[in-house]
């Protein structure tokens, strides 16, 4: 380009202003780095192009953890909540997850304003088209010719990178919601040697509220009281909207089957691999032919809009086919579409090329976050953006990196899965992915991670004081219930029998009663006369710790063993091909992933326990000799 000009010096450049880019930019700037966040369109900052909700199963855990570290997603979601529900309450505490319908436009406005107000941060509408290594720095080039010199670059491109939209036999280059795609940057990344692959996601239609007949639909109301995402939210939140539930039927499926040849997914037009756990409605009909109906949720997009979102009904079928099958569904017989459903294909990297800091192993100073790393979802993106932003700042300040392990957070599990196992389809966080989920509950996210955020400098004095006071109150309450004896009484035994548990004939400690699965704090209101006034969140945490005390103790023992193995650090210059006894597949996988320790090595697909034994012996010899060694 002959129109390039020097636009100035930056510490950190963030490419993209979606959920990953927002958290990355705010974290880097708050840690003292001169930061710029670039976006193709300022009106797309913080956009929620798919579902108008935050949280969900396991995703709610991520939001709580982001908040505990000092991120913004939880606080902003609380400010925009339309309806809140705690999922999985019929199951154990480990899988309880908060989910909130949000006002998507309000959410975007708040996030944009936070970026605009943040010291050290420039929010800039500009398309980044080229990244050029420049010694220990990077040159970031925009389409209009501006060249910024940066110490670190964080790629948070979402579904914009090489984005292409599909609706029936119509396809065109586009980002989500009709925005321009990033058409030039993919070639720049390929020149850097980054392996790109094509993934796909999709979104349902948005429909006009007044065209929906809700009279015969099941109404889904929010929970009371409303539980906030953020540990810092003090205002009492309220449910302002309801959702509705409907179902597809055989007529719906028949319309889809008759037109399946017109789907670009089945016609071969779409090359990208879609999310396994969030299939389109045509996918559901084809993959589950014996299922007579599929559930959908009709959800509000905001207070000041009549758009409603059809959760569970994403599609890439032609527009008129969408209209026809939607109108076979109860409540949608006369529905009018405002935005058609579409599929979108985009470029992303192979996360096996990343380190646990989310920095590219072969490209120092270049980081990836969010869907660019092969994940899906707002929450997964925000979590990675926060970690990438923190680590970019720490590196430029010559400080130790932030590496979260699997035993300490869902964020650590997410990143570890990406960088050691890789992805064959868009990665979605689920509680089943964590082997330590009883310890990594959403209720104790602040206890696990707020001290980390404080050490980093992302937790204010006011918030730290609030946190320490809460932890002190919790410990006092644990001590009280473990040391408070209740005498046998008719009132107590009536409570116990009414809850289906055994009466007592001698005195019993309050903590022992709370360990019983049938008994809650609320059940004991009439006999626990000395209970102090405490927030619900403290009572909940105390009760969970008492009920699962034995299981938690065993899981913590497993965590100690895991961390013992994780402490066995592997040198980063190992030539795995020269280690005798390693299978060829294992040597190839280890060479590609370059695990930081034995724990990561044994989680790599294709590395067997026998390979790990060989590696352990090699490491012992290496440490004894102080040099590279071979295992005979």
- pLDDT tens digits, 373-424: 999 999 999 999 999 999 999 999 999 999 999 999 999 999 999 999 999 9
- What is the value of pTM for the model shown? 0.94
pLDDT at residue 68, rounded to an integer: 98
Q: Give the pLDDT confidence of 175-199 residue by residue, as tens digits.
A: 999 999 999 999 999 999 999 999 9
Instruction: Please state, for a pLDDT cut of 90, what percent of the chain lies above it.
Output: 89
**φ and ψ at 386, to 5 degrees?**
-60, -45
pLDDT at 453 over 70: yes
Taking residue 318's Cβ as centre, other Cβ atoms within 10 Å add up to: 18
- Residue 351 in tokens: 């996360």
pLDDT at 29 over 50: yes
Mean pLDDT over residues 296-306, rounded? 97
In degrees to the nearest 10, what's the CA dihedral of 487, 493, 496, 501?
A: 100
Q: 228, 78 in Cβ contact below 8 A?
A: yes
Question: For the chain, what is the mean pLDDT?
Answer: 94
Instruction: Please state, for a pLDDT cut of 70, what percent of the chain lies above it.
Output: 99
Note the Cα 31 to chain centre separation in Å. Answer: 22
Mean pLDDT over residues 190-217, rounded? 97
Mean pLDDT over residues 118-130, rounded? 98
pLDDT at residue 274, rounded to an integer: 80
Taking residue 631's Cβ as centre, other Cβ atoms within 10 Å add up to: 18
Instruction: Say which CATH architecture domain 471-557 belongs to.
Output: Orthogonal Bundle (1.10)
pLDDT at 275 over 50: yes
Q: 371, 346 in Cβ contact below 8 A?
A: yes
**φ and ψ at 601, to 5 degrees?**
-60, -40
3-state secondary structure of 304: coil
Return the percent helix, strand and coil in the chain, to nearest 5: 40, 20, 40
Query: Per-domain residue ranges for the chain?
Result: 5-198+348-456, 206-345, 471-557, 568-625
At the top level of CATH, the class of 568-625 is mainly alpha
Mean pLDDT over residues 483-504, rounded? 94
Mean pLDDT over residues 36-40, rounded? 98
State which fold the 206-345 domain adopts: Elongation Factor Tu (Ef-tu); domain 3 (2.40.30)
Q: Do the domains 206-345 and 5-198+348-456 match in fold? A: no
pLDDT at 441 over 90: yes
Mean pLDDT over residues 542-546, rounded? 95
* Integer CA distances (angstroms), 123 to 104, 107, 143, 382, in order: 20, 17, 16, 17
pLDDT at residue 621, rounded to an integer: 87
pLDDT at residue 198, rounded to an integer: 96
pLDDT at residue 627, rounded to an integer: 55
pLDDT at residue 632, rounded to an integer: 35
pLDDT at residue 300, rounded to an integer: 98
- Which CATH number applies to 5-198+348-456: 3.50.50.60, 3.40.50.150, 3.90.226.10, 1.10.10.10? 3.50.50.60
Classify the C-alpha dihedral 226-429-538-488 as positive or negative.
positive
Closest Cα partner for 429 from 371, 377, 356?
377
Q: State the distance between the two ends of the chain, measured CA to CA, in whole angstroms.
A: 56
pLDDT at 629 over 50: no
Mean pLDDT over residues 606-621, rounded? 90
Per-position DSSP letters for 231-279, written without gaps between them: TT--SPP-----EEEEE--HHHHHHHHHTGGG-HHHHT---SBPPTTS-
pLDDT at 624 over 90: no
pLDDT at residue 3, rounded to an integer: 87
């Amino acid at each position: 380009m002959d129109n390039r000009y020097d636009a100035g010096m930056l510490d950190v450049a963030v490419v993209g202003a979606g959920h990953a880019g927002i958290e990355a930019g705010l974290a880097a700037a708050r840690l003292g780095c001169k930061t710029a966040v670039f976006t193709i369109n300022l009106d797309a900052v913080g956009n929620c192009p798919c579902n108008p909700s935050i949280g969900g199963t396991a995703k709610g855990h991520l939001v709580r953890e982001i908040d505990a570290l000092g991120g913004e997603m939880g606080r902003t979601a609380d400010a925009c909540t339309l309806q809140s529900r705690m999922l999985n309450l019929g199951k154990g505490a480990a899988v309880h997850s908060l989910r909130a319908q949000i006002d998507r436009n309000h959410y975007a406005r708040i996030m944009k304003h936070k970026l605009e107000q943040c010291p050290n941060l420039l929010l800039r509408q500009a398309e980044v088209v080229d990244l050029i290594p420049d010694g220990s720095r990077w040159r970031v080039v925009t389409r209009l010719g501006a060249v910024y010199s940066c110490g670190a670059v964080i790629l948070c491109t979402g579904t914009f990178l090489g984005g292409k939209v599909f609706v029936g036999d119509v396809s065109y280059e586009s980002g989500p919601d009709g925005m321009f795609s990033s058409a030039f940057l993919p070639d720049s990344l390929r020149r850097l040697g980054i392996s790109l692959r094509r993934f796909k996601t999709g979104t349902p239609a948005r429909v006009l509220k007044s065209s929906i007949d809700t009279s015969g639909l099941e109404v889904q109301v929010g929970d009371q009281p409303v539980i906030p995402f953020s540990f810092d939210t003090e205002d009492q939140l309220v449910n302002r909207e309801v959702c509705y539930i409907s179902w597809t039927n055989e007529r719906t499926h028949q319309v889809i089957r008759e037109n399946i040849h017109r789907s670009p997914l089945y016609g071969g037009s779409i090359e990208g691999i879609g999310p396994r756990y969030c299939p389109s409605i045509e996918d559901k009909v084809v993959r589950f032919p014996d299922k007579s109906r599929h559930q959908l949720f009709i959800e509000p997009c905001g207070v000041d809009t009549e758009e409603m979102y059809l959760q569970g009904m994403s599609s890439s079928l032609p527009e008129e086919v969408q209209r026809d099958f939607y109108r076979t569904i109860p409540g949608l017989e006369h529905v009018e579409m405002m935005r058609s459903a579409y599929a979108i294909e985009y470029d992303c990297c192979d996360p096996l090329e990343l380190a646990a800091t989310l920095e590219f192993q072969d490209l120092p100073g270049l980081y990836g976050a969010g869907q660019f790393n092969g994940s899906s979802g707002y929450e997964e993106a925000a979590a990675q953006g926060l970690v990438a932003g923190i680590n970019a700042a720490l590196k430029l300040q010559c400080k130790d990196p932030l590496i979260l392990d699997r035993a300490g957070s869902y964020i650590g599990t997410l990143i570890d899965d990406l960088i050691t196992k890789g992805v064959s389809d868009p990665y979605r966080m689920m509680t089943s992915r964590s082997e330590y989920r009883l310890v990594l509950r959403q209720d104790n996210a602040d206890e696990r991670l707020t001290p980390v955020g404080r050490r980093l400098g992302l937790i204010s004095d006011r918030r730290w004081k609030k946190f320490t006071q809460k932890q002190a109150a919790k410990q006092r309450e644990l001590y009280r219930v473990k040391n408070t004896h209740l005498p046998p009484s008719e009132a107590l035994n009536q409570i116990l029998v009414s809850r289906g548990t055994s009466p007592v004939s001698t005195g019993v400690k309050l903590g022992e009663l709370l360990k019983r699965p049938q008994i809650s704090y609320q059940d004991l209101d009439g006999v626990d006369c000395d209970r102090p006034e405490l927030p619900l969140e403290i009572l909940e945490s105390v009760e969970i710790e008492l009920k699962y005390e034995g299981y938690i103790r065993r899981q913590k023992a497993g965590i100690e063993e895991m961390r013992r193995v994780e402490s066995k650090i592997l040198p980063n210059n190992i030539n795995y091909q020269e280690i005798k006894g390693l299978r060829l597949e294992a040597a190839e996988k280890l060479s590609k992933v370059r695990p930081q320790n034995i724990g990561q090595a044994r989680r790599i697909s294709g590395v067997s326990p026998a390979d790990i034994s060989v590696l352990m012996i090699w490491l012992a010899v290496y440490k004894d000799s102080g040099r590279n060694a071979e295992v005979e």
